[in-house]
Chain A
Amino acid sequence: MFGEFEGLILHIGSFLVIAGIYAIINVGLNVHYGHTGLFNIGIAAFFALGAYTASILVMPPPDPNLYQRYEWGGNLAFTLGSERIGFDLWFPLVLIAAAAVCAAVAYLVGSITIRLRGDYLAITTLGLGEAVRLLFTNEGWLADGTRGLNGIPRVLDGVVDPQWYDFVFLPLVLIVLLIVYFVSQRLAGSPWGRVILAIRENEDTVEMVGKNAFQFKLQAFAYGAALMGIGGALYAFAKHSITPAAFEPFFATFIIWAMLILGGSGNHRGAILGAFVLWAVISSSQFLPGFLGDPNLRLAVIGLIIVVVLLIRPAGIIPETRTRT
């Protein structure tokens, strides 16, 4: 359609979709770390739970001749598909379901572990991430183990040629990102958000003025996890297939942390910008010429970028504006 630029345009489309999804997850992480001060290095847990919840709900029940262990699919996409009711009602429902599952898990796990001191909370969240990934790796009946789920139904499928699908999906991702941004921004400015910020600064003071800091932390943990779940659900639809390997700590947790610190933790605009900038660097570095295009050297360069940014701009690209009231 666009001649020689077709490859580039396709690349930009898929870049924007994935960067937008990372931005949504990053807003969730910013609620956790940037605003509440919760040190969550188990992003992968909620990322994977969101992606798998969404996919299992929309996948058709598997053909027993094809699968030995994988048993269940919710078939929501067929039941509520556009052929039946005129529009893809299942899409927002599935996003809400993914958010709800993640919030519920965060609430349960948080009520046990969130009292732990910062470092200890971090290690338990890392464990949660690993546990979720191992669950989907080992329990074949749930989501076909290491082979993962393929051919996940897509929203608005068949509107355009499959290779241009990213440009149908991109507006949806951006709409969700905008909603997430505005809701989170409003929450951050609300009385609830001010208590959250105060907890980050000094938890004892918050307790002293009669707020139940534990409850506020738990709510913030559940809310951030819900955003991560929405991001995970969108990721499953964008990729069209998911495997447990996609939720290894490196790409599903640490890259997102690097995005937050790069963009500037403590403000949602920084979080969103960080996701787009770092993903642009990572995904475009494959076009570098000569020996710089070597995948291992690219890895090294990404690592060096993280270090250099932390050294020369510790508050990130958009530093948090501290308000006095």
Chain B
Amino acid sequence: MFNVGDRLSTIFNRNAIRDAVISVVGERGLMAIERSTLIAVGGFAIWALVTQLDLTVNGLLVGSVYALGAVGLSLVYGNLHLPNIAHGDYMTLGAFIALFVFGSLVPEAWNDNSVGPFTFSYTLFIALPIGVLFVAVFAVIVDQLVYRTMRRRGALPGVMALASLGVAIALRGFIQYIWGTEVEHFPRESKQFFIWTVDLLHLQDVIVRVPPDMIFVAVAAIVLTFATYLFLNMTKWGKAMRAAADNEDLARVTGIDVERTNLLTWVIGGGMAAAAGILFAAGQGQLLTISGWKILIPLFAAVVAGGIGNPYGAFAGAIFVGVIGEVSTAWLDPSYKPAVFFAAIIVLLLVRPNGLFGQSRS
């Protein structure tokens, strides 16, 4: 009776399947089967991506929005061993600070002229740094008040996650107390979508419609992720951060101030969260107090898909999650998207137990 689970798990155990197949068709047969399965799956994926080009392109753009949030989330997760449930609410906080800049801080006339093909005005370039700075400072303060004490005590990641849940709930409560729970609108000017008609192998015309703001967000995501990459790999502080994430004791022995790298992690993680929240809200033109909370699920999916603690992996994971989510809407109801993310993640984890680019840690 107790062997049902074992049987089920052997069904999903690649080695058992492998042995069974080899006993029937032999080594070369197995290779042929593996190769043809790979070709079939890859072929289906390419066919789906090409025939649903509109969804694929939009999935890439949605994925880059997720990437903005996921890179910071993954960095904090990897360096501080904290699955930060409050990350989405940090995004919301940044967006509301930006909204405050748009609505109250600058003269209204500044919001009139929009930038190029985009819907937002130049005020965004004032609001963005202010929001980023505010949330970065906020994240550092919360760390000093809450997480530092818990780190010193050696709290488990689960307990840390719960503390971040408390922070998330408290922060959302205060945001709702100050700004209310109604939908807030960013000042924006309606603009035409970019529309391209692509002739697919002379067989059918596919119309690709892209909101211009999304392109801006995607470029910003790529630039910020690349900047993070340069910082982590080319600067002294970045290397210290990676060393501290890899082995804290060893880093301390070599003279790295781990508390300071932790703060730096929060500055980057919080700042990236704010940037993600502001760009996302500006692109959408509207903002809800629960927007950040809602986006948390694809963000965590992206972080896990990319391998926890690997910021560039998180970028790839976000693209993976975004494209799969969008393309699935060709066949499934769009509201099933979160379920699709997770089905894809589970399949991915069964094939690669540490995510796309994760390394196994013991």
Contact = CB atoms under 8 A, between A and B. Distances in A.
Contact of A310 (B150, B301, B345): B150
B9 A214 contact: yes
Interface in B1-39: 2, 4-6, 8-9, 12
B159 interface: yes
Interface in B138-191: 146, 149-150, 153, 155, 157-159, 162-163, 165-174, 176-177, 181
A116 B166 CA distance: 27
> Majority SS of interface residues in chain B?
helix
| Size bracket, chain B contacts | 35 or more
B165 A254 contact: yes
Interface in A179-204: none
A120 B167 CA distance: 23
A214 B6 contact: yes
A157 interface: no
B176 A108 contact: no
Contacts of A261: 159, 162
Interface string B325-351: 000000001011011011101100110
A130 interface: yes
Nearest to B341: A127
A82 interface: no
B66 interface: no
A101 to B, nearest CB: 16
A215 B333 contact: no
B155 A306 contact: no
A126 B167 contact: no
Contact of A127 (B157, B176, B345): B345
B274 interface: no
A138 B333 contact: yes
Interface string B284-322: 000000000000010011001000100000000000000
Given A116-B353, A123-B304, A300 B4 contact: no
A127 to B, nearest CB: 3
A161 to B, nearest CB: 36
A94 interface: no
A307 B163 CA distance: 5
B173 A303 contact: yes
B83 interface: yes
Given A39-B158, A303-B171, A306-B169, A130 B297 contact: yes
A123 B301 contact: yes
A311 interface: yes
Contacts of A108: 8
Nearest to B346: A124
B336 A134 contact: yes
A93 B359 CA distance: 48
A63 interface: no
A310 B341 contact: no
Contact of B342 (A128, A212, A305): A128
Interface residues of A, number: 51
Contacts of B333: 138
A298 B176 CA distance: 11
Contact of B170 (A117, A212, A257, A303): A303
Contacts of B157: 118-119
A134 B159 contact: no
A112 B158 contact: no
A112 B350 contact: yes
Given A138-B335, A307-B163, A307-B167, A123 B300 contact: yes
Nearest to A305: B166
A110 B5 contact: yes
Nearest to B153: A314
Interface in A95-128: 107-108, 110-113, 115-120, 122-124, 126-128
B165 A300 contact: no
A117 B174 contact: no
B177 A112 contact: no
A139 to B, nearest CB: 10
A215 B339 CA distance: 27
Contact of A303 (B158, B168, B354): B168
A122 B169 contact: no
Contacts of B336: 134, 138
Contact of B174 (A112, A257, A300): A300
A111 B166 CA distance: 32
A119 B342 contact: no
Interface in A1-37: 33
Nearest to B169: A303
Given A303-B167, A304-B170, A124 B349 contact: yes
Interface of B: 2, 4-6, 8-9, 12, 83, 85, 146, 149-150, 153, 155, 157-159, 162-163, 165-174, 176-177, 181, 297, 300-301, 304, 308, 333, 335-336, 338-339, 341-343, 345-346, 349-350, 353-354
Interface of A: 33, 39, 107-108, 110-113, 115-120, 122-124, 126-128, 130-131, 134-135, 137-138, 212, 214-215, 218-219, 254, 257-258, 261, 294, 296-307, 310-311, 314
7 contacts: A111-B9, A112-B346, A134-B339, A214-B6, A218-B5, A258-B165, A296-B181
Given A117-B353, A219-B2, 13 more contacts: A108-B8, A113-B349, A115-B9, A122-B83, A130-B342, A212-B6, A254-B85, A296-B174, A296-B177, A300-B169, A303-B169, A307-B166, A314-B150
Top 4 A-B residue pairs of the complex, sorted by shortest distance between their CB atoms: A127-B342, A300-B173, A303-B170, A303-B169
